[in-house]
């Protein structure tokens, strides 16, 4: 991945949504996480200042070099030990079962093969561990879903491949993860929740 312009403007473009609820959703996602945590698709590091102080350490992976450069700038704000990697969610550079939890925010909608990535996350999280997610999803409202379908081709071109209309929760339910809780907002096209590693 190589999106220098997107990395440069990403935080600015997202600032209004962050102020109007997304930052609170990110914070809720982190609440209570403990132990070793992996973040998949860490982007420019918008989650970094929100990492839970209860975590032992966090390992953040991001494929886009330009995003990693922004992520490095924010690393000093991490409240817990933070290790950064440039890498691919389809082939994580970690041993089996080494993490207690995983975080994915607005990345599954961009990762080319989300099932493969979710299987990789399943591999590196210990049995009984959890996955917390916050994602763009296809809205349950037919009207909103039609709107998503119309704008998705152009949106994907300007957003690094994000698929606004991806049925992410349904995809997650086809994997080895056991979905425990899902809550939706933003007219139903944003979903957050948690799943457990079986």
Residue among 110, 104, 170, 112 at smallest CA distance from 131:
104
CATH number at residue 84: 3.40.50.150
Give pLDDT, residue 20.
76
Q: How many CB atoms lie under 10 A from the CB of residue 60?
A: 26
Q: How far is CA 157 from CA 7, 123, 131, 147, in A?
A: 14, 31, 28, 16
Helix residue ranges per DSSP H, the chain:
4-17, 23-30, 65-74, 114-124, 142-158, 168-173
Give pLDDT, residue 2.
67
What's the sign of the alpha-carbon dihedral 104, 109, 115, 117?
negative
Give pLDDT, residue 57.
97
Split into its structural domains, the chain has a count of 1
Range of the structural domain that residue 57 is part of: 4-197
Q: Average pLDDT per run of 10 along the chain, which is 198 residues long?
A: 70 76 90 97 95 96 94 93 96 98 95 96 98 91 88 76 88 95 79 94
pTM of the model: 0.90
Give pLDDT, residue 83.
97
């Amino acid at each position: 991945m190589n999106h220098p312009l997107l990395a440069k403007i990403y935080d600015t473009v997202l600032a209004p949504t962050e102020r109007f609820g997304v930052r609170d959703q990110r914070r809720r996602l982190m609440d209570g996480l403990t132990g070793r945590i992996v973040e998949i698709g860490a982007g420019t590091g918008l989650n970094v200042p929100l990492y839970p102080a209860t975590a032992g350490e966090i390992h953040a992976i991001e494929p886009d070099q330009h995003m990693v450069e922004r992520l490095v700038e924010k690393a000093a704000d991490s409240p817990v030990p933070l290790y950064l990697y440039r890498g691919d969610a389809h082939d994580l550079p970690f041993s089996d079962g080494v993490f207690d939890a995983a975080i994915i925010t607005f990345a599954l909608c961009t990762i080319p093969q989300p099932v493969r990535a979710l299987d990789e996350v399943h591999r590196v999280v210990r049995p009984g561990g959890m996955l917390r997610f916050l994602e763009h999803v296809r809205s349950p409202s037919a009207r909103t879903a039609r709107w998503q379908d119309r704008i998705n081709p152009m949106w994907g071109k300007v957003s690094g491949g994000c698929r606004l209309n991806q049925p992410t929760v349904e995809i997650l339910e086809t994997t080895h993860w056991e979905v425990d809780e899902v809550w939706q907002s933003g007219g139903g096209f944003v979903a957050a929740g948690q799943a457990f590693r079986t």
